[in-house]
Amino acid sequence: MKPKFAQRIAAQANVHWATVGKLIQTKVAQGMDVIQISSGDPDLPTPRPVVETLREAVLDPTYHRYPFSFRTDIHQAVATWYQNRFGVTLDPASEVLMLAGSQEGIGHLGLAVMEPGAVAIVTDPAYGSYTRATQFAGGEVYLLPIHAEDGYLPQLAQIPADVLAKTRLLWLNYPNNPTGAIAPLSFFEEVVAFAKKHDLLVCHDNAYSDIAFDGYQAPSFLAVDGAKEVGVEINTLSKAFNMAGWRVGMAVGNAEVLAAMGAVHRNSSMGLFGPVQLAAIEALTGDQSWMEERNRIYQQRRDIVVEGLRSIGMQVEPPKATLYVWAKLPPGYDDSFAFAQWLLDETGVWISSGSFFGEGGREYMRATLTLPTARLEEAMARLQKVRL
């Protein structure tokens, strides 16, 4: 028997990463030492108190049962953190939804809001999951180009009226993956007014709010008056707390939207493992002064990568946040995937092609900061030996 699959599965084929995987595997098989500067997976360890909290809790049989068999204070911990970190007041009972990582929330929001005939606006370039979550739910995507000269902020007035008439959801993400761009509160004020005028929902992905440099502090979309009336914010402990593998995230904001997401959630998940919840509470409410040193390390790496990419003629603005450095190809080059393949052949260094994030990234590459500093220095030293 040949299995038959839904069309939505075929539409989600990730050709780019499959091609990249084969390229790198071939080089490794040939004996090449490949340095991949392409993953947003933090390499620095989870804080010890968080680990110890889980280690102790896992011995308690209370938490070996389904998560709905017991209660923790994790919703209150999220609300407290949002108040302390962003000055945003949340009702822990109705305005906080826990997620197995922000990725789950992106998918669940798509299923809760989108359907055939409905449109979601996604910037170009952007993190690919916004498009995939929309399409998986049967919705249509309108790609809104964003540009360096605008600080990679979308020009909402450029969206055609016929598109807005069908639009149900606007996806945003600042600090931004892949560009590293940041957004001021004034931009979010514009977004809230725009959403109210056109009766659409906003989802702001704030995954990188606490990976910041040069004294910058990222705001929450929900800090704007009226934001909870039109939207939700998705956040995660993955980047801020070095907990990518723990799978803890949250959606906060509009209670009706969270209730709809919760309906999807209950049909696909049983909730977070109890000891993970307790560890997350420790992360959110415990000492967070260690983040300053963590960000200092990332900033040092950022500067190493910026200098290295500039040395081969790439145009780079040092980002004030995120784990990424967004770099324009040297003059005379316009295909970042071809350029990435050439760099891999010449140096054994793989940097992501910006085209993976949309047509707007065709002339750009995205380097990451999630390798040990010495390994990044080695990669940049290799790049400096190439001849363009």
- Where are the domains positioned within the chain? 7-45+290-383, 48-285
Question: Tens place of pLDDT for every residue, the chain, 388 residues?
Answer: 888 888 888 767 666 777 788 889 999 999 999 999 999 999 999 999 999 999 999 999 999 999 988 899 999 999 999 999 999 999 999 999 999 999 999 999 999 999 999 999 999 999 999 999 999 999 999 999 999 999 999 999 999 999 999 999 999 999 999 999 999 999 999 999 999 999 999 999 999 999 999 999 999 999 999 999 999 999 999 999 999 999 999 999 999 999 999 999 999 888 999 999 999 999 999 999 999 999 999 999 999 999 999 999 999 999 999 999 999 999 999 999 999 999 999 999 999 999 999 999 999 999 999 999 999 999 999 999 988 7
The pLDDT value given to residue 9 = 81
d(CA 211, CA 134): 27
The pLDDT value given to residue 114 = 97
d(CA 111, CA 8): 13
Contact between 272 and 248 (Cβ < 8 Å): yes
Q: Class for domain 48-285, per CATH? A: alpha beta
Burial 203-230 (b: 16+ CB within 10 A, else e): bbbbbbbbbbbeeeebbbbbebeebbeb
The pLDDT value given to residue 14 = 63
d(CA 113, CA 218): 27
The burial of 345, by beta-carbon neighbours within 10 Å (0-12 exposed, 13-18 middle, 19 or more buried), is given as: exposed
d(CA 344, CA 332): 19
The pLDDT value given to residue 18 = 74
Among 94, 95, 85, 75, which Cα is nearest to 227's?
95
CATH of 7-45+290-383, one of 3.60.150.10, 3.90.79.10, 3.40.50.720, 3.90.1150.10: 3.90.1150.10
- Angle subtended at Cα 133 by Cα 260 and Cα 146, rounded to the nearest 5 degrees: 115
d(CA 336, CA 218): 29
d(CA 341, CA 330): 15
**Predicted structure pTM score:** 0.95
The pLDDT value given to residue 2 = 84
d(CA 316, CA 339): 16
Among 311, 290, 329, which Cα is nearest to 377's?
311
